[in-house]
Amino acid sequence: MIRLEPFIAAFVQREVDRADTETRYRPPLVGFADAADPRFLQLREVAEPTHLLPGDLLPAARSVVSFFLPFAEEIVKANRAQPREVACQWALAYVETNALINRIAQRLITSLAERGVQAAAEPATHNWDPVTLISRWSHKSVAAIAGLGSFGLHHMLITDAGCAGRFGSLVLDAALEPTSAPGTAVRERCRYLRDGSCMICVQRCPVGALTEKGLDKRRCYEWLLQVADRFRQLGLADVCGKCATGPCAFESAV
């Protein structure tokens, strides 16, 4: 059998290259984690007591794949240009990228099955509890465990390609070489958490849901529903992204 790590990375890149979307992307990032990594269990302590484990998605789980699709610069700049109103390009990118992530996951599951590997995936979004607004399978947290980035003040994951984009993940019953291991030092990518030099994400929140003390998820979500109503012709565009238009949209702190 061919090595799956380069095959999966190339598969994701190929699917992005041939995506029939108006949205354009920068090169995707792909990472891998051991399904037995103790940090998955720790998510039940730090994130959500009922957070799913890899084995809940696939009983024979051995590895987890995470990938990040960074938006093209013009999408971020369009959303950055308007202080309150969400740019149509950003809303469209959210809808199209969620659909693209789901397609990539399902096509990769099919392709892996042809190679004797079983895989499973959760939807790109809207897999959260409507009361607590907490996801039971956080693609961002999975990406962090795979070493793709670190969380910033805005509660988003900042990768080496920034935070402006969307994450997807799969669980496999094949062993892959992890790109991060328990105990690995995490590089601080958020400028505020590193040295207090940036609070643009807080300043750009249209409804004051994000502060130094944390994120008011209910206030944030109520705003997202207003945005979704404005863009209902696009589908479910409950998105804002103003907090993802600062310096960390494209890069992380050096």
Q: With pLDDT > 90 as the criterion, what percentage of the chain qualifies?
A: 86
Question: pLDDT per residue over 9-26, tens digit each?
Answer: 999 999 999 999 999 999
* Close Cβ partners of 193 (under 8 Å, ≥ 6 residues apart): 152, 153
Classify residue 246 by burial, with Cβ atoms within 10 Å: 0-12, 13-18, 19+. buried
Count of beta carbons in the 10 Å neighbourhood of residue 202 = 19
Question: pLDDT per residue over 38-56, tens digit each?
Answer: 999 999 998 888 899 999 9
**CA 29 to CA 45: how far, in whole Å?**
27
Answering whether pTM is above 0.85, one says yes
Q: With pLDDT > 70 as the criterion, what percentage of the chain qualifies?
A: 98
Q: Which two tokens stand for residue 245?
A: 């238009």
Q: Are 107 and 192 in contact (CB under 8 A)?
A: no
197-to-163, 193, 247, 253 alpha-carbon distances in Å: 18, 8, 11, 10
In 154-205, where does DSSP find H-type helix?
191-195, 200-204
The type of residue at 202 is V
- DSSP state at residue 187: P
For residue 76, pLDDT beyond 90: yes
Q: Which two tokens stand for residue 148?
A: 């793709």
Question: pLDDT per residue over 128-170, tens digit each?
Answer: 777 777 889 999 999 999 999 999 999 999 999 999 999 999 9
Compute the average pLDDT of residues 65-84.
Answer: 96
**CA 70 to CA 68: how far, in whole Å?**
6
DSSP 210-235: EETTEE-HHHHHHHHHHHHHHTGGGS
Q: Are 171 and 107 in contact (CB under 8 A)?
A: no
Give the relative orientation of helices 4-17 and 88-113 as an angle to the nearest 10 degrees: 140
Q: What does the mean pLDDT of the chain come to?
A: 94
Element (H, E) at 169: strand 165-172
**CA 149 to CA 136: how far, in whole Å?**
20
Rounded-to-10 torsion of CA 150, 188, 70, 29: -70
Sequence ranges of the domains in the chain: 4-249
**CA 94 to CA 241: how far, in whole Å?**
9
